[in-house]
Chain A
């Protein structure tokens, strides 16, 4: 599905991502974890084309994508959410999700200007599909509310609905549980599993270890831009090097 081969990213003297390689198999949930500053979000931005790679290749379904722009990557079938929720100011929750249907509709600039009749059916379809997603995420009642005025948890749900509206084959979630309470986190866990069961491959960056260990099929650990380990959640929990970076040297020895 997604394959990274010795991907490097340098910001001046900082080697943010250092020779990272891993594969994501279709239909699984893969988590990328690591301490702050390990290069997780940078890695995400490299995959989605928000940042150019310094060297290495990233391929998605066999196609090299390290040079594509973000909107082209989205057109190939990957959607993402952001660490600090990015919704569109001045648009309702429903409209935000409708933007997610952009790639699944095709009315152009001119037909928009003249409100050509053939676009009406498409508009209705966009609206219906978006409403369905809001419904699935249990925020249908806020469809007409300005998205940025919703609570943080609801905003996350809107963002998730927008990403799902693309009908992606790969979904990248950047800290989906950040800022959520334990109930909302449990809800997110259920939702991510459900998304996987819909046939969408999920890659997530997350700090919440209980969530990661609970839902992921495989875990990649990054530390200072390098891949430290890649294994099943159970094995990762027992990996001494991983314990060391998470708990500190002394604690690791004490154990």
Chain B
């Protein structure tokens, strides 16, 4: 188990380097932009994967947490605090070194919150909101939990769409770059930014976040807390009887997945230089659930690969104007033919289903053929 974990991580690192080298060789470095974005979405999807697959709690509101992260960070780093300079709170923040001067598109002077502070604030708010709605909502099960989280996602979407502070239907643009590590000596600063020259650095940065996020989740699953999470999925009653505070563990993993989503939101917003209300839409939440399902619920590696891969294809526009429809279709097909995820399908059994050779279990195969024929 341990060995497989390390092998997987090493393999993923090699794959990331390999992709970079391949694009450099073939002059297709423009792919890196969408891969960077896909990696951030992947961060959200693996967080949701632990919540859904391992702890067994569905959430159709995770785009809400992504948006909370992205929007708070965007708003704080773009809204000008100069007019409020003499207010005590603003003064306090300034004295703490949490504010920085900058210039807007037209050369006007601005005073905004430092991205680091905005990022931490956004993640803390996402955690707090997850805590507050998680306590009542996680008492629900199955369909009811799905509906309650769906409601949460809709509330966030509508609030963002109606609040001038968050740019209403336009969203927020002009979000500055996020200097993670300032220049030290001869080392260049590490900056989250969509600037052309920083493309390669941001590609590695995004996958760095994803890989570290993955390592943490893999650790968790193998730990005492991870066993507790998986056990409450298996049988809540038996988990309780074993002394596990099921409500507490559900809440903790819910908050964790919300923080993952918020971090993804913050980083992607700084990378893109802006965020719009569509990021909070219900369709996005449904898409994340679909990606977890395609990856195979209890298979974190599958979730990561499918999450990044399909998101990349979608961002490249492979699915055209039918983008959302394709994800809906994927959800249906996965539920029908590969409820344990695409990667669990063995080629053999797929071929066997498609071309039955009159073996013993013919009726079952006939059923599959008839189910597949309208699509093929």
Contact = CB atoms under 8 A, between A and B. Distances in A.
B225 A79 contact: no
B226 interface: yes
Contacts of A71: 240-246
**Most chain B beta carbons < 10 A, residue from A99, A114, A122:** A99
A71 B246 CA distance: 8
A241 to B, nearest CB: 33
Nearest to A88: B234
A113 B224 CA distance: 10
Contact of A88 (B219, B230, B249, B252): B230
Interface in B154-202: none
B234 A75 contact: no
A99 B249 CA distance: 13
A88 B238 contact: yes
Interface in A48-75: 48, 50, 69-71, 74-75
B298 interface: yes
Contact of A70 (B220, B226, B234, B241): B241
Contacts of B225: 107-109, 112
A126 B246 contact: no
B244 A82 contact: no
Contacts of B235: 86-89
A100 interface: yes
A143 interface: no
B242 A162 contact: yes
B224 A114 contact: no
A2 interface: no
Nearest to A108: B225
B353 interface: no
B228 interface: yes
Contacts of B220: 109, 112-113
A218 B241 CA distance: 25
Contacts of B227: 91, 95, 98-99, 102
Contacts of B245: 69, 71
Nearest to B224: A107
B238 A166 contact: no
Nearest to A159: B238
Interface in A131-170: 159, 162-163, 165-166
A123 B227 CA distance: 11
B216 interface: yes
B231 interface: yes
Contacts of A98: 227
Nearest to B223: A112
Contact of B242 (A74, A89, A107, A119): A74
A90 interface: yes
A235 interface: no
B241 A74 contact: yes
Contacts of B241: 48, 70-71, 74, 79-80, 82, 163
A165 B227 CA distance: 14
Interface residues of A, number: 42
A162 B226 CA distance: 17
Given A99-B242, A113-B219, A50 B237 contact: yes
Interface string B15-44: 000000000000000000000000000000
A111 interface: yes
Contacts of B228: 99, 102
Given A86-B235, A88-B230, A88-B235, A100 B242 contact: yes
Contacts of B298: 90
B239 interface: yes
A161 to B, nearest CB: 11
Contacts of B244: 71, 99, 102
Contacts of B231: 88, 91, 96, 99
**Most chain B beta carbons < 10 A, residue from A70, A105, A123, A165:** A70
**Most chain A beta carbons < 10 A, residue from B216, B225, B238:** B238
A74 B224 contact: no
Contacts of A163: 241
Nearest to B237: A86
A127 B241 CA distance: 20
Contact of A91 (B216, B217, B230, B249): B230
Interface string A209-247: 000000000000000000000000000000000000000
A60 to B, nearest CB: 14
A70 B219 contact: no
B240 A74 contact: yes
B243 A102 contact: yes
Contacts of A114: 216, 219
A112 B242 contact: no
A210 B256 CA distance: 52
A87 B238 contact: yes
Given A113-B223, A163-B241, 18 more contacts: A48-B241, A70-B240, A74-B240, A74-B243, A79-B241, A80-B241, A86-B237, A86-B238, A89-B234, A90-B233, A91-B231, A99-B228, A103-B242, A107-B223, A107-B224, A113-B220, A119-B223, A123-B223
6 contacts: A87-B234, A88-B234, A91-B231, A100-B242, A105-B224, A115-B219
Interface of A: 48, 50, 69-71, 74-75, 79-80, 82, 86-91, 95-96, 98-100, 102-103, 105-109, 111-115, 119, 122-123, 126, 159, 162-163, 165-166
6 tightest A-B CB contacts, nearest first? A88-B234, A112-B223, A74-B243, A70-B240, A86-B238, A103-B243
